[in-house]
């Protein structure tokens, strides 16, 4: 019986030292847009996107702008990435607002909403997207400090920002949360990260039921392996080189291949969807 060949590297083995990572130094660079086509699905909407400086967040921000939305990007400290994203938004003819800071701090989340309302007067779309991950071989390697950091970054801000933004989100508004394929299949080396992503699925389902009478839809996106700065910032060079080759499509996805899910969920085309999760994951079969 012929043995299958081990996974071959599909990109250079490179690692970054600090997360969330910088898109400006990635090689190859993630693909976050395809064309300058404008369709107006989000005409004159205002969107707030956490982690909107790079990766999936950047692709979503640019896609929203092309569909007619003004965009406020909340990010940590990746200023160059954020400025590049902002340039693409303004090139699409929309306004961009950059807000740096730590979203694990509830006061900062409240300040984000205050600044957005002061500038744009409304919030139509909230995208809870920012996250961190710290791979460990065993649960015994996960310190209390790491556990706290993962949860306070990945799930607490969903509560903080939703609570702060809710008074300004009108009927027909949309809240979209980024969960992960790991919420469904688990991950032996990302136990705490996967746990937060599972919590986000429950958050989406519970909040959608809570807000249905207000006419505010709440949905999520569960990406599989996507080529973003978080990958070289958290995995070894060898893991980076083979990242994404274990899914049916045999490659990592690009942020631009995920962004249409968010556009759809934010638009009126998804007017009958709430409490749902979309799965751009390269072909993995998901139950749940």
Query: How far is the C-alpha of 263 from the C-alpha of 259, rounded, in Å?
Result: 6
Helix (H) or strand (E) holding 197: helix 191-211
Q: Is the peptide bond before 28 cis (omega within 30 degrees of 0)?
A: yes
- 267 forms bridges with which residues in the sheet? none
193 counts as catalytic: yes
Residue 270 tokens read as 């998804």
Identify the three-state secondary structure at position 43. Answer: coil
Which among 50, 278, 264 has a CA at the least distance from the CA of 164?
A: 50
The one catalytic residue in 75, 193, 262, 272 is: 193
- 60 forms bridges with which residues in the sheet? none
Distance, first Cα to last Cα, the chain? 36
Query: How far is the C-alpha of 110 from the C-alpha of 115, rounded, in Å?
Result: 9
Residue 52 tokens read as 């909107």
- Name residues whose C-beta falls within 8 Å of residue 94's C-beta, 6 or more positions apart in sequence: 65, 68, 69, 70, 71
The b/e string for 15-25 (b: 16+ C-beta within 10 A; e otherwise) is bbeebbbbbee
Residue 100, judged by CB atoms within 10 A of its CB (0-12, 13-18, 19+), counts as middle
- The phi, psi pair for 231, rounded to 5°, reads -70, -60
Query: How far is the C-alpha of 267 from the C-alpha of 15, rounded, in Å?
Result: 37
For the annotated catalytic residues, the residue numbers are 193
């Amino acid at each position: 019986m012929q043995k299958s060949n081990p996974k071959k590297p599909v990109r250079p083995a490179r690692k970054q030292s600090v997360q969330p990572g910088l898109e400006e130094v990635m090689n190859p660079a993630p693909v976050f847009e395809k064309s300058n086509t404008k369709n107006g699905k989000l005409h004159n909407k205002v969107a707030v996107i956490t982690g909107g400086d790079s990766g999936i967040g950047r692709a979503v921000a640019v896609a929203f702008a092309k569909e007619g939305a003004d965009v406020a990007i909340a990010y940590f400290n990746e200023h160059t990435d954020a400025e590049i994203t902002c340039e693409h938004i303004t090139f699409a003819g929309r306004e961009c607002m950059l807000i740096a800071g730590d979203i694990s701090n509830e006061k900062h989340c409240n300040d984000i909403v205050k600044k957005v309302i002061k500038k744009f007067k409304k919030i139509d779309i909230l995208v809870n997207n920012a996250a961190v991950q710290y791979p460990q071989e065993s649960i015994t390697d996960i310190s209390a400090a790491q556990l706290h950091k993962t949860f306070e970054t990945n799930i607490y801000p969903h509560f903080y920002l939703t609570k702060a933004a809710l008074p300004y989100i009108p009927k027909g508004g949309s809240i979209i949360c980024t969960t992960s394929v790991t919420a469904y299949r688990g991950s032996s080396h990302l136990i705490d990260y996967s746990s937060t992503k599972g919590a986000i699925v429950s958050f989406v389902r519970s909040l959608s039921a809570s807000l249905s009478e207000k006419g505010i839809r709440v949905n999520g996106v569960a990406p599989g392996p996507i080529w973003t700065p978080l990958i070289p910032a958290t995995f070894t060079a060898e893991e980076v080189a083979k990242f994404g080759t274990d899914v049916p499509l045999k490659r990592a996805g690009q942020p631009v291949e995920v962004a249409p899910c968010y556009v759809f969920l934010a638009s009126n085309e998804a007017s009958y969807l709430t409490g749902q999760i979309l799965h751009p994951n390269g072909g993995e079969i998901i139950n749940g």
